[in-house]
Amino acid sequence: MYRSGLPLLINVLSFMAVAASIAVGERSVQARMASPSRFGDKAFEWLTLAMALVVVVLITLIGWQLWIGSSVAIKKFGFHFLVTSTWDPVAEQFGALPFIYGTLVSSLIALLIAVPLSIATAAYLTELAPLWLRQPLVSLIEMLAAIPSVILGLWGIFVMIPWLRDYPFPFLKRVFGWTPFFSGPIYGPSMLAGGIIIAVMILPIITSVSREILRSVPDLQREAAYGLGATRWEATRIAVLSYAKKGLFGAVILGLGRALGETMAVTMVIGNTPQIAASLFKPGYTLASVLANEFTEATTDMYLQALFEIGLVLFGITILVNLLAQLLLRTITTASTTRAVQ
Amino acid sequence: MTKSYRSKILLGLTIAFGLSTTGWAQMMINGAGATFPYPIYSKWFDEYAKVDPSVRFNYQSIGSGGGQKQILAQTVDFGASDGPMSDDNLAKAPGKILHIPTVAGAVVLTYNLAGNPSLKLDGEAVAEIYLGQIKKWNDPKITALNAGAKLPDQDIVVVHRSDGSGTTFIFTDYLSKVSAEWKQKAGNNTSVNWPSGIGGKGNEGVSGQVKQTPGAIGYVELIYAVQNKMPYAEVKNSAGQFVKPTIESVTAALATADIPDDFRFSMTNAPGKDAYPIAGATWLLVYQQQKDAAKGKKLVEFLKWALTKGEGMAKDLNYAPLPDDVQQRVLKRIDEIKT
């Protein structure tokens, strides 16, 4: 189910990994069987290798095309493109900083909301919920993933924003108004609203993946914990969640990948104003949104070039975030292995 | 399924296939571009299929930018745009591109005020609201235009389009004409560096925002405001009259606008006491020298039909048709298309 909703890149990366591991596994099996002359095996190896290469070529071509499409803008604006804030199609001055900021902040808000919710939901579904309730709940969550993004966006404009503006936002302002994050006038469309709608959209995927991961935790773990006299909470926390830490982290990264590229619904509620403001009540803008908004009607060359460069930046950020996540994942794994050895 | 039935289908398929390969199939004319005129264009193509069944039109409403790009790249037989092409873009064309104006529409200012009072605005006030200088509804500059109306001491929430659009092009074209400060600070394009306000995506995004936010003002196409029963302001034109946006007042603006021979004109702030000042036309873009003679001939026939019979259908769809004299001028230009 969740594969269909993933952004291209994640799909591509995971596919690459699978294809590569198949190719590698094939080779080691061959070595063990010591019969390398069999044509079928060779053909299979080449086939899978070709599949894996198609993906690599595809990703390179996308990057290359974006680079070519934006080469003039890159030459003209250079590094300034990444650190300036003016977006003026009339004067042809372009800077992507507010969009980069908006993309990262809205995704961060989404993760802060969606991760605890999703993992708690997954834990409830696998550990605590009565059996008769599990399947209906799972189906409901998966249905949430099936709602088209534009529908969520309309719901965002006509239902979520008026509600947020009338109840939760004034409450946040009353309680946390002394911090810069919740100060200033409340319009409704805002960075916070954008983050919340992304949270709704990535909730199903993080929940589904987390649930699969928690389900794969061997019962032996739980039984051992109970055997030592652990309470239900202790067993879930120590024996299940901690055991599945790495997988859960992977689930979060899948969610993040989707959050970074989320376009339609965010565009409809974030307010589309390229500015960097501390207050989450102020409208913001994301890389994906500016592409969706302005690509169709951009007529001048430099304008199009700048939009292509926005695409390139989004492409880069997605790859960078994924690499960072891989690194972090490795650190976590090494740390826990070391502890286990000690 | 009986055997004879099956063989009949087979026979039919064979004939159909045979026809399509021998060139008896319908001719397909491809176009792409502006979204604003899409409803009337698709109506025209539909009706024209009854007039000349041998030709079919395929129009993709991908936006004016796409329309201009595709006609330049010659991937379509005609383009469509809500703004005339720039000199730079025309210079890139492999041949001379003609602008054929088809219909016009108005951009209206819609608002959300308690009790739905009627509202009158002038260019200066609209520009200052969008520049973020007039911040309250009871600003003297607004109350002076609305004698007798009770306007609240309420913040104005400015809403604009976030996506690039012909609507924004028309609106900022108008503001650039009536306010030197606007021209210098923001200028005129399908998307600009907005000095204030929040952006909504599409007409529905702006109107959604306006409907939800007390004290909001936004601009949308007239059709959209009429269909959604939203209030809209009367705007003072260059003759000093307050004019309600209607199909008639847009056609009046077309009649008095200064239209050069290449038809690349702007009709905002048109003179004439009945002219509504925030309005714009939309154009079809065709090469003067058609590459494919047969297609070119059919395209010319269609354009002539559209500029005569087709114009009559405009009002029903809330577009303003071209005035008679402009129609005649455009028809003459269509005669210059060589096939």
For A85-97, how does the pLDDT look when each residue is reduced to its tens digit (9 = 90+)? 999 998 899 999 9
pLDDT score of A341: 44
> Is A281 within 8 Å of A170 (Cβ atoms)?
no
Residue of A154, A297, A310 for testing the chain B interface, max B β-carbons within 10 Å: A297
Distance from CA of A277 to the nearest CA of B (A): 14
B109: three-class secondary structure by DSSP: strand
Eight-class DSSP state of A285: -
Q: How confident is the model at residue B330 (pLDDT cuts 50, 70, 90)?
A: very high
* Dist. CA A292–CA B164, nearest whole Å: 9
Q: Does B164 touch chain A (CB under 8 A)?
A: yes
Residues of B in contact with A185 (CB under 8 A): 155
Judge whether residue B312 has pLDDT over 80: yes
pTM for the whole thing? 0.80
pLDDT score of B6: 56
In this structure, is residue A50 part of a structural domain?
no
Q: Is B144 exposed, middle or buried (0-12, 13-18, 19+ CB in 10 A)?
A: exposed
Which of A34-43, A130-139, A298-307, B20-29 is predicted least confidently?
B20-29
B90: three-class secondary structure by DSSP: helix
Distance from CA of A302 to the nearest CA of B (A): 12
Q: How confident is the model at residue B8 (pLDDT cuts 50, 70, 90)?
A: low
* Dist. CA A291–CA A296, nearest whole Å: 9
pLDDT score of B166: 87
Is A150 found in the same domain as A24? Answer: no
Is A28 found in the same domain as A145? Answer: no
| Cβ neighbours around A245 below 10 Å, total | 14
Question: Which of the two residues, A245 and B2, has the higher pLDDT score?
Answer: A245
Residues of B in contact with A271 (CB under 8 A): 198-199
In this structure, is residue B23 part of a structural domain?
no
In this structure, is residue B312 part of a structural domain?
yes
The residue out of B279, B302, B326 marking a domain boundary is B279
Tokens of B314: 């405009």
For residue B290, the enclosing domain spans: 28-104+281-334
The residue out of B279, B304, B319 marking a domain boundary is B279
Total number of domains constituting chain B: 2
Judge whether residue A155 has pLDDT over 70: yes
Judge whether residue A307 has pLDDT over 60: yes
Tokens of A327: 């690194």
Is B152 found in the same domain as B225? Answer: yes
Tokens of B85: 């092409």
Q: How large is the average pLDDT for residues B46-66? A: 91
Please list the residues that pair with A94 across neighbouring strands. A87
In this structure, is residue B9 part of a structural domain?
no
Q: How large is the average pLDDT for residues B24-38? A: 86
* Dist. CA A186–CA A166, nearest whole Å: 9
What percent of chain B clears pLDDT 70, i.e. is strictly above it?
93
pLDDT score of B337: 93
Is A144 found in the same domain as A16? Answer: no
In this structure, is residue A78 part of a structural domain?
yes
- Number of helices (H), then strands (E), belonging to chain B: the values are 13, 12
State which H helix or E strand residue B198 sits in. Answer: strand B198-200
Is B111 found in the same domain as B99? Answer: no
Eight-class DSSP state of B312: G
* Dist. CA B152–CA A34, nearest whole Å: 88
pLDDT score of A187: 86
Which of A254-258, A304-308, A327-331, B181-185 is predicted least confidently?
A327-331
Is A28 found in the same domain as A88? Answer: no
Q: Does B188 touch chain A (CB under 8 A)?
A: yes
Domain CATH code at residue B300? 3.40.190.10
Is B263 found in the same domain as B148? Answer: yes
Residues of A near B (Cβ–Cβ under 8 Å) read 86-91, 154, 157-158, 161-162, 165, 185, 187-189, 267-268, 271-273, 283, 285, 289, 292-301, 304
In this structure, is residue B179 part of a structural domain?
yes
- Using CB atoms, pick whichever of A88, A188, A297 lies closest to residue B193: A88
Judge whether residue B170 has pLDDT over 60: yes
Give exposure, A270-305, as e/b (b: 16+ Cβ within 10 Å).
bbbbbbbbebbbbbbbbbbbbbbbbbbbbbbebbbb
The residue out of B242, B261, B279 marking a domain boundary is B279
Contact (CB<8Å) B164/A297: yes
In this structure, is residue B10 part of a structural domain?
no
Is B253 found in the same domain as B316? Answer: no
Judge whether residue B221 has pLDDT over 80: yes
Q: How large is the average pLDDT for residues B163-169? A: 90
What percent of chain B clears pLDDT 90, i.e. is strictly above it?
75
Is B286 found in the same domain as B274? Answer: no
Q: How large is the average pLDDT for residues B296-302? A: 95
Q: What is the mean pLDDT of chain B?
A: 90
* Dist. CA B155–CA B147, nearest whole Å: 20
- What ranges in chain A are assigned the alpha helix state H? 2-5, 8-33, 39-69, 71-77, 80-83, 97-123, 131-146, 149-155, 161-166, 168-176, 191-215, 219-227, 232-234, 245-261, 264-269, 287-294, 301-341
φ, ψ for residue B279 (rounded to 5)? -145, 160
A218: three-class secondary structure by DSSP: coil
Residues of B in contact with A300 (CB under 8 A): 86, 88-89
Total number of domains constituting chain A: 2
Tokens of A194: 């954008």
In this structure, is residue A39 part of a structural domain?
no
For residue A112, the enclosing domain spans: 70-341
Domain CATH code at residue A212? 1.10.3720.10
- Quick one: which of A92, A90, A73 has its CA closest to A81? A73
In this structure, is residue A267 part of a structural domain?
yes
Is A100 found in the same domain as A27? Answer: no
Q: Which residue of A has its CA nearest to B186?
A: A90
In this structure, is residue A56 part of a structural domain?
no
Residues of B in contact with A293 (CB under 8 A): 162-164, 191, 199, 201
Contact (CB<8Å) A273/B198: yes
In this structure, is residue B177 part of a structural domain?
yes
Q: Is A317 exposed, middle or buried (0-12, 13-18, 19+ CB in 10 A)?
A: middle
Residues of B in contact with A162 (CB under 8 A): 212
B287: three-class secondary structure by DSSP: strand
Is B263 found in the same domain as B154? Answer: yes
Is B139 found in the same domain as B33? Answer: no
Judge whether residue B1 has pLDDT over 60: no
In this structure, is residue B43 part of a structural domain?
yes
Is A133 found in the same domain as A78? Answer: yes
In this structure, is residue A92 part of a structural domain?
yes
Distance from CA of B208 to the nearest CA of A (A): 7
Is B131 found in the same domain as B194? Answer: yes
- Quick one: which of B287, B334, B261 has its CA closest to B93? B287
Judge whether residue A340 has pLDDT over 80: no
Question: Which of the two residues, A149 and A24, has the higher pLDDT score?
Answer: A149
* Dist. CA A54–CA B254, nearest whole Å: 56
* Dist. CA A271–CA B118, nearest whole Å: 27
- Provide the residue type at B175 as one letter: L
Judge whether residue A31 has pLDDT over 70: no
Residues of A in contact with B190 (CB under 8 A): 89, 294, 297-299
Q: Which residue of B has its CA nearest to A267?
A: B201
Is A29 found in the same domain as A74? Answer: no
Is B311 found in the same domain as B239? Answer: no
Is A149 found in the same domain as A19? Answer: no
pLDDT score of B7: 55
- Using CB atoms, pick whichever of A188, A272, A296 lies closest to residue B63: A296
In this structure, is residue B11 part of a structural domain?
no
- What ranges in chain B are assigned the alpha helix state H? 3-22, 38-51, 64-72, 87-92, 123-131, 140-143, 166-178, 180-185, 202-212, 222-227, 247-256, 293-308, 324-335
Q: Does B213 touch chain A (CB under 8 A)?
A: yes
Contact (CB<8Å) B190/A162: no
| Cβ neighbours around A174 below 10 Å, total | 9
Is A337 found in the same domain as A216? Answer: yes
- Quick one: which of A225, A14, A194, A238 has its CA closest to A99? A194
- Using CB atoms, pick whichever of A157, A292, A297 lies closest to residue B190: A297
- Quick one: which of B112, B125, B118, B177 has its CA closest to B146? B118
Is B312 found in the same domain as B269? Answer: no
Judge whether residue A145 has pLDDT over 70: yes
Contact (CB<8Å) B191/A294: yes
Q: How confident is the model at residue A26 (pLDDT cuts 50, 70, 90)?
A: low
Distance from CA of B162 to the nearest CA of A (A): 6
Judge whether residue B114 has pLDDT over 80: yes
Q: How large is the average pLDDT for residues B292-319? A: 94
Which of A20-29, A153-162, A201-210, B311-320 is predicted least confidently?
A20-29
Is B98 found in the same domain as B184? Answer: no
Judge whether residue A7 has pLDDT over 50: no
Q: How large is the average pLDDT for residues A45-69? A: 94
Q: How confident is the model at residue A325 (pLDDT cuts 50, 70, 90)?
A: confident
pLDDT score of B21: 45
Collect all residues with Cβ–Cβ distance below 8 Å to A239 and sequence separation of at least 6: A217, A221, A222, A224, A225, A230
Is B173 found in the same domain as B88? Answer: no
* Dist. CA B200–CA B209, nearest whole Å: 7
Give exposure, A42-81, as e/b (b: 16+ Cβ within 10 Å).
eeebeebbebbeebeeebeebeeebeebbebbbebbeeeb
Residues of A in contact with B188 (CB under 8 A): 90
